[in-house]
Amino acid sequence: MDDLIKNFEKNGYVIVPGEKALINKIRTYIFEIIKKEKKLSTKNNIDYTFNNFHNFVKPKNINDLRFKIYNKINKGDLFSNLYYQVTKKYLDEIIGNELAMQKKINLSIQLPKDKDSLLDLHSDIYAGESPFQVVVWIPLVNAYESKSMFFTKPKFNKKMNSQLLNSDKFTTKKMYNKNKNKFSFLNVKYGNILIFSPLILHGNTINKTKETRFSF
């Protein structure tokens, strides 16, 4: 686990294997909700359905479906306990085992070419999040290239954060467009999880791949 701490401190994030059985359980649970809502055949393959979800839903209806799933998973604490168990052994090492957890787990569904599901460059502390927390990001599909998120390279992060917080010269969009070479998209395969510091600048762009991304 020493390498885990070193990599987290060096990069501001780590990509590690999650508890695969629990991640499969989470994905199956979401799949059952989707099958019921979209009246899909029981023959539908789970991988195909998630990656090709843009074939099953119109972009204008995606937010309604996302909120239906969001409301179902955030009733009670069963889902949040499952989510925590996926990554518990890493959190114990990075921040300890006496923790508070965000009450609601968010879901992102990003269809190919969807211009309405974008999360511009930001640091989570901009929204009042604690700089002492960590964020757990779990994709339900392989996340790569523009189907994933981009992260700043740590050596540039402090300076850009300072410029955004203390100057009117840059908007977050201007900052990203001017410094694209200082960001990289992370490759997070299904079954792996991303744990990152809220101080790290990150976001997404239009998904230019031919697949849909589901992530928590």
- Across the chain, what does the average pLDDT equal? 90
Better-predicted residue by pLDDT, 161 or 66:
66
- Cβ-contact 213, 108 below 8 angstroms: yes
Per-residue pLDDT at 208 exceeds 90: yes
Between 161 and 21, the more confident residue is 21
Q: How far apart are alpha carbons 135 and 14 in whole angstroms?
A: 11
Q: Find where tokens 């979800």 sit.
A: 53
Nearest CA among 153, 149, 138 for reference residue 204: 149
The predicted-structure confidence for 129-146, as pLDDT tens digits, reads as follows: 888 899 999 999 999 999
Do 105 and 80 contact (CB within 8 A), yes or no? yes
Q: What is the pTM for the complete model shown?
A: 0.92
Residue scoring higher pLDDT (71 or 161)? 71
pLDDT at residue 11 above 80? yes
User: What are the pLDDT digits (tens) for 33-43?
Assistant: 998 888 876 56
Percent of the chain with pLDDT over 90: 61
Confidence band, pLDDT 50/70/90 cuts, at residue 168: confident
Residue 112 DSSP class: T
> pLDDT for 73-123, tens place per residue?
999 888 999 999 999 999 999 998 888 888 899 999 999 999 888 888 888
Q: How far is CA 51 from the centre of its chain?
A: 16
